Chain A
Amino acid sequence: MNETIMAMSGIDWAYLGAAVAATGGGIGSAIGITLVSNAATGVVTEDPDKFGRILPLAAMPGTQGIYGFITALLVFIFFGVFEGAVDITAHEGLRVFFACLPVAFVCMVSGIYQGATAVGAAGMVARRDEDAGRALIFPALVETYAVFSLIVTIIMMLYVTTG
Chain B
Amino acid sequence: MTRIRAIADPVRYGFAVGRVRVLEGRLLGHTTFERLLDARDYDRQRRILADTVYADHLEGTATPDDVERALDASLVELYEDFLEHANLPDPIVAYFRTRHDFENLKARLKAEALGMEIDGLLTPLGSVSPEVFGGAAERLPSGVREAEARIKLTLSGDDDTVPPEMIDAAVDKEMFASLSTIANESKSEFVQHLVALEADLGNVRAFVRGRVRELPVADIERALVPGGVIPASTFVAYYRLPFEEGVNRLSTSRSLSLADPEAIADPARLDVALDALVAREIRAHRRTSIGPDPVVSYVLARRAEVTALRTIIIGTFSQVPVERLRERVRDVS
Contact = CB atoms under 8 A, between A and B. Distances in A.
Interface of A: 31, 34-47, 50, 112-113, 115-116, 119-120, 122-123, 126-127
Contacts of A50: 22
A123 B19 contact: no
Q: Interface residues of B toward A: which range?
A: 10 to 19
Given A42-B21, A46-B19, 10 more contacts: A35-B14, A36-B14, A37-B14, A38-B18, A39-B15, A43-B18, A45-B15, A112-B6, A119-B14, A126-B18
Contacts of B10: 34-36, 38-39, 115-116, 119
Nearest to A113: B6
Contact of A38 (B11, B20, B24, B25): B11
A42 B7 contact: no
A124 B86 CA distance: 20
B116 interface: no
A39 B22 contact: no
7 contacts: A35-B7, A35-B14, A38-B14, A38-B15, A39-B17, A42-B14, A116-B10
B286 to A, nearest CB: 11
Contacts of A47: 22
B36 to A, nearest CB: 24
B16 interface: yes
B312 interface: no
A42 B17 CA distance: 7
B214 to A, nearest CB: 51
A43 B11 CA distance: 15
B25 A119 contact: no
A65 B248 CA distance: 60
B23 interface: yes
Contact of B7 (A31, A44, A122): A31
Contacts of A115: 10
A116 B6 CA distance: 7
B14 A39 contact: yes
Indicate the member of A36, A40, A116, A127 with the most B CB atoms within 10 Å: A116
B22 A119 contact: no
Contact of A119 (B17, B19, B86): B17
B32 interface: no
B254 to A, nearest CB: 29
Report whether over half of chain B's contact residues are helix, strand or loop; otherwise say mixed.
helix
A60 to B, nearest CB: 14
B290 interface: yes
B22 A43 contact: yes
A62 B289 CA distance: 21
Contact of B290 (A34, A112, A116, A127): A116
B114 to A, nearest CB: 44
A35 B22 CA distance: 18
Given A35-B11, A38-B10, A112-B6, A119 B16 contact: no
B18 A122 contact: yes
Given A39-B18, A42-B17, A46-B19, A119 B7 contact: no
B290 A39 contact: yes
Interface string B1-42: 000001100110011111111111100000000000000000
A126 B25 contact: yes
B135 to A, nearest CB: 37
A59 to B, nearest CB: 16
A120 B291 CA distance: 11
A45 B19 CA distance: 7
Nearest to A34: B11
B21 A126 contact: yes
Given A112-B7, A119-B290, A120-B290, A42 B25 contact: no
A46 B86 CA distance: 12
A122 B10 CA distance: 12
Nearest to B18: A42
Contacts of A46: 18-19, 22-23
Contact of B16 (A37, A42, A120, A122): A42
Nearest to A112: B7
Q: Which 5 A-B pairs have the closest CB atoms?
A: A42-B18, A38-B14, A126-B21, A46-B22, A35-B10
Contact of B15 (A41, A113, A126, A127): A41
Contacts of A40: 18
Contacts of A37: 14
A37 to B, nearest CB: 8
Nearest to A45: B19
